[in-house]
Amino acid sequence: MSAPSSRPAGLLGRVFQYIDLHQDEFVQTLREWVAVESDSIQPVPRLREELFTMMSLAAEELRRLGANVDVVDSGSQKLPDGQTLPILPVILAELGNDPKKATVCFYGHLDVQPARQEDGWLTDPYTLTEVDGKLYGRGATDNKGPVLAWINAVSTFQALEEDLPVNLKFIMEGMEEAGSLALEELVRREKNRFFSSVDYIVISDNLWISRRKPALICGMRGNSYFTVEVKCRDQGFHSGTFGGILNEPMADLIALLGGLVDASGRILVPAIYDHVAPLTEEEKKGYEAIDLDLEEYRNSSQVKRFLFDTKEEILMHLWRYPSLSIHGIEGAFDEPGAKTVIPGRVTGKFSIRLVPHMNTSVVEKQVEQHLEYIFSKRNSSNQMSVSMALGLLPWTANITDNQYPAAKKAIKTVFGTEPDMIQDGSTIPIARIFQDIIQKSVLMLPLGAVDDGEHAQNEKINRWNYIEGSKLFAAFFLEVAQLHSDDLLTDPLSHTPERE
């Protein structure tokens, strides 16, 4: 990959120089943020307290920048066991309100997936550890690093005593990994207040498809997350006393999970592919244009082989076809040792990544009918129940929106290359929420490399990505400002209060 031959002149050059000189300070702040165990997945009071600590840290950082910060209460959630826990508040912050400037809103999340060193981490997941330019720690790339890179860009303009090129708004949450509870309601409520003056929305919560070449995201898959429970009774059985004389819940569950997807990765739920958008010739050419080294991708993923042999097949099955993944079994014995219990009740967890034009309610019905059919064939005396815990639709970007050319120019300035225009197989619910409710342009501008390992053991962000990403956001501010200025010259009435 090529890189800029020299540092830009003028203001941008001074911005880049400042970021380079202060990168150790930026890494130290990331270290402090990673140290907070802001796990939103495990619903326990201690971790909710950690999440509140994380939200307070972020709010104080924004206040230090001079932003007006509103920490909005989100209520509470009642768990299946009857326990009630607070939902994390959402941070709404504003910095600047010049009517002649564009207003850019940045979304980020401060919560993380669970992490324990005994699960295979080489270092303490909550102690940011640098090895060969890689910053290891839970949340380093998902999403604390990118959030701080945005803040680094803002603080650099202020440190240089330069006026920010754009007005900025921030929306930060602490429940994204748990499904962004209560966030949609807040967005609807704030549509005509907080979001009324927003021109553009930026999300940086994805990865590139390469280790070194940057990318822009054009679309994301949705997600339907299911649980299937098989129950004989609430308590377990001794296998020596009851083994061989009853329908064991675990055996039933294994049969159910095994009937969901075959060895080639094809989903076995009948009619599941009926609503998938047909493949066009133009789309096929787009996959051919993506710069993906399959060998490097396989090695960085630490996988012996993929299910498909060509770049085009790999990308299509990552982005434009649905996939089904089995995630775990609750209630099963999973500790070291030789325990001979027969679980009395077990719950399997799996999800289906959705693509245009799949419908969550249709998928839910198809899955329920398929599992009921498999279970009926076993003639089991146990009880089975299926539930869809999440139903999130896919998102498609409008790449003709003005901020996409602005992002391309900023990427070219910082990295010296045009970005790959890619899709993302994962799901970020807020993108679809913003697009449907606020009806404003949404840009996905990732910083992380393909091998960052979000959600996995040894998650990291490269120092290079973190620091160059801070420069990217600064350059993006200036490109959006120029774009907005050009628009005002073309149409002086385009940003008056009457037209907003």
What does DSSP say about strands 420-424 and 215-220: parallel, antiparallel, or unpaired?
Answer: parallel
HSE-CB for 497 with a 13 A CA cutoff: 3
Instruction: Assess whether 281 carries a catalytic annotation.
Output: no
The encoded tokens of residue 139 equal: 């949340």
Q: Is 79 helix (H, G, I), strand (E, B) or coil?
A: coil
- Which residues face 122 on adjacent strands? none
CB atoms within 10 A of CB 384: 19
Which residue, among 55, 39, 48, 175, has the nearest Cα to 116 in the 3D structure? 39
Annotate 449-471 with three-state secondary structure.
Answer: CCCCCCCCCCCEEEHHHHHHHHH
Cα gap 410→474, rounded to integer Å: 9
CB atoms within 10 A of CB 426: 16
Q: Is 386 helix (H, G, I), strand (E, B) or coil?
A: strand
Which residue, among 359, 343, 370, has the nearest Cα to 277 in the 3D structure? 359
Tokens 């890179």 — which residue?
Answer: 149
- What is the rounded end-to-end Cα distance, in angstroms, of the chain? 41
Annotate 292-303 with three-state secondary structure.
Answer: CCHHHHHHHHCC
The encoded tokens of residue 266 equal: 């094809």
Cα gap 368→392, rounded to integer Å: 17
**Burial category of 58 from C-beta neighbours within 10 Å (exposed 0-12, middle 13-18, buried 19 and up):** buried
CB atoms within 10 A of CB 143: 27
Diameter of the chain measured on Cα atoms: 84
* 176, 205, 252, 459: the active-site residue: 176
* 94, 111, 451, 454: the active-site residue: 111
Please name the residues in contact with 230: beta carbons below 8 A apart, sequence gap of 6 or more. 249, 250, 252, 253, 256, 345, 346, 347, 348, 380, 382, 383, 384
Q: Is 141 helix (H, G, I), strand (E, B) or coil?
A: helix
Instruction: Assess whether 176 carries a catalytic annotation.
Output: yes
Q: Which residues are catalytic?
A: 111, 176
